[in-house]
Amino acid sequence: MSLLDVIGPVMVGPSSSHTAGACRLALLARHALLFPPHQARLELHGSFAKTAKGHGTDLALAAGLLGFYPDDPRIPEAIRLAQEAGLSLEFVSKDLGDVHPNTVRITLENAQERLSLTGSSLGGGVVRVVKVGEFDTNFSGAHHTLLVKHQDRPGVIARVARVIADDEVNIATLTSTRLKRGGEALMALEIDRRLAQYALDYLTHHPYIHWMRLLPEVMSGEKVSA
Topology of domain 144-215, CATH: Alpha-Beta Plaits (3.30.70)
The overall longest dimension of the chain from CA atoms, in Å, is 49
In CATH, the number for domain 3-133 is 3.30.1330.90
Domain ranges of the chain: 3-133, 144-215
Q: Residue 25: in which H helix or E strand, if any?
A: helix 21-31
What is the average per-residue pLDDT within 63-92? 96
Answer whether 3-133 and 144-215 agree in fold.
no
Separation CA 156–CA 160 (nearest Å): 6
Per-residue pLDDT reduced to its tens digit, 167-189: 999 999 999 999 999 999 999 99
Query: 95-143, pLDDT tens digit by residue?
Result: 999 999 999 999 999 999 999 999 999 988 899 999 999 999 999 999 9
Cα–Cα distance, 161 to 152 (Å, whole number): 15
